[in-house]
Chain A
Amino acid sequence: MIEIKFGDQTVPVDAGESVLDSFLRNGIDLPYGCRGGACQSCMLVAEEGEIPPAAQVGLKTTQKQLGYFLSCQCIPQSPLQVRLAEQAGQIQESKVLERDEIAPNILRLRLQPVLSYQPGQYLNIWHQKSADSPQFIRSYSIASVPELDNFIELHIKIIEGGVFSQWAKNELSVGDTLRLQGPIGECFYVTEQPEQPLLLIGIGTGLAPLFGIVRDALQKGHTGPVHLVIAAREKQGFYMQGALENLSRDYPQLDMTYVCQTSNGEIDEISSFAPIQGDIYAYIKTRFPSTKGMRVYLCGAASFVRKMKKQVFLSGTGMRDIHADAFLPCS
């Protein structure tokens, strides 16, 4: 008999039985739907042990890399240690190494690299102003690349009334400790098909994960064209142009465009480093009428990600080639 470790429980699995069935039989309530490997609602993550290939059929490559599997399709041949797919792991303390207001409303934090991650994933900051105040959890995407940077970089958008961002702006100093949990998320670069064209589109601080993903792809030797399109509501919303300019000088395959979404809907291409005026959706439609065969990364506000995801899918990108990091609003 094979045993599965789940938190502090040990669950016995009968021969030929799936992990889902054994959990349900032993009174562990897992979410599930079709039991046929299609709906993916019974997904778990293996922290240790060997996942039978059949339990990962239909998952994205990024999910497979992270050890995700479908418990209804998993008939284990050896012991496993598993957890629920949405749990993000232990909380770790990390000191602030640098803090800079790199744009009017954007605070860049560089933290001790206390956890391993893929650029483009995100982490949770557990924030409590003082011992007796309530605890808040805020998620931020990671802009750094572990092989290139000896820090974890986050771009904090300063929001009026923002619980964490206002505190970080006004009270957080270099040397202070933050409590991090993660990493989480499946929006990152994987080394397969290095010749595949990449299209990365971000709005606002959606640049943070994209900056990580682009540099990761380039340093891992991606050979295909890399199109990075950054949009902002107004000109002041763009940041880090210097770093991006250096990057595109080092890597000629990188093609950079800024789209400034001010009132008039006209597309007026001036040069690759002066922002184009216009609507991001119209710009992408005109510039990339077919996105067939491209791998697409979308980062930024949830409404943007949702709309653009549909657009690039309809213009030809396969569902599995669309990677997205949707920022959810919270104050």
Chain B
Amino acid sequence: MSLYERIGGEPAVDAAVDIFYRKVLADDRISHFFDTVDMDTQAAKQKAFLTMVFGGPNHYSGKDLRDGHKHMALNDIHFDAVIENLAATLKELGVGDGDINEIAAIANSVKDDVLNR
């Protein structure tokens, strides 16, 4: 069974989006990046992101990630904040530590693209 199936597939992603997005908006380190974005559009993007890190079907490419984050002047603090919120979301949903580590590793694999390094 794949990681994505183990987590619970699309319904699990749906459940995770609200929790994750709420944590991100409440996190002073990164919340200001979301002040001017449309919430529905952003929720759809978060869903695509979570699908990707859960190992589900996605079409994320390194180039998209670079282009999408280029203007934001992001650094390690911002990236780590997202990873922390992601891990806390998964814990809240009862995902096991092994799977959380696997997911964090997938997220970390795109770090250089997101930070445009």
A interface residues, tally (CB under 8 Å): 16
From A34, A57, A313, B10 is in contact (CB under 8 Å) with A57
Given contacts A58-B10, A58-B14, A313-B22, contact A36 B58 (CB under 8 A): yes
- In the complex, what residues of B have CB within 8 A of residue A285's CB? none
Q: Does A38 lie within 8 Å of B44, measured CB to CB? A: yes
Given contacts A57-B10, A319-B18, contact A39 B58 (CB under 8 A): no
- In whole angstroms, how far apart are the Cα atoms of A34 and B25 in the complex? 23
Q: Does B51 lie within 8 Å of A38, measured CB to CB? A: yes
- In the complex, what residues of A have CB within 8 A of residue B60's CB? 34
Q: Does A58 lie within 8 Å of B47, measured CB to CB? A: yes
- In whole angstroms, how far apart are the Cα atoms of A39 and B59 in the complex? 11
A40's closest neighbor in chain B, by CB?
B44
- In the complex, what residues of A have CB within 8 A of residue B48's CB? 34, 36, 38-39
Q: Does B40 lie within 8 Å of A310, measured CB to CB? A: no
Q: Does A310 lie within 8 Å of B51, measured CB to CB? A: no
A326's closest neighbor in chain B, by CB?
B38
- In whole angstroms, how far apart are the Cα atoms of A58 and B59 in the complex? 17
- In the complex, what residues of A have CB within 8 A of residue B45's CB? 38-39
Task: Kindly count the residue-residue contacts between A and B in the assembled complex, taking CB atoms under 8 Å apart.
Answer: 44
| Interface 0/1 of B25-37, CB less than 8 Å to A | 1100000000000
From A38, A40, A310, B25 is in contact (CB under 8 Å) with A310
A72's closest neighbor in chain B, by CB?
B59
- In the complex, what residues of B have CB within 8 A of residue A318's CB? 18
Give residues 1-59 of B contacting A (CB, 8 Å). 10, 14, 17-18, 21-22, 25-26, 39-40, 43-45, 47-48, 51, 57-59
- In the complex, what residues of B have CB within 8 A of residue A35's CB? 59
Q: Which residues of A contact B (CB under 8 A)?
A: 34-40, 57-58, 306, 309-310, 313-314, 318-319
List the 3 closest A-B pairs by CB distance, nearest first. A38-B48, A38-B47, A319-B43
Q: Which residues of B contact A (CB under 8 A)?
A: 10, 14, 17-18, 21-22, 25-26, 39-40, 43-45, 47-48, 51, 57-60
21 residue pairs A–B, Cβ–Cβ below 8 Å = A34-B48, A34-B59, A34-B60, A36-B48, A37-B57, A38-B47, A38-B51, A39-B44, A40-B44, A57-B10, A58-B14, A309-B39, A310-B39, A313-B18, A313-B21, A313-B22, A314-B22, A314-B26, A319-B17, A319-B39, A319-B40
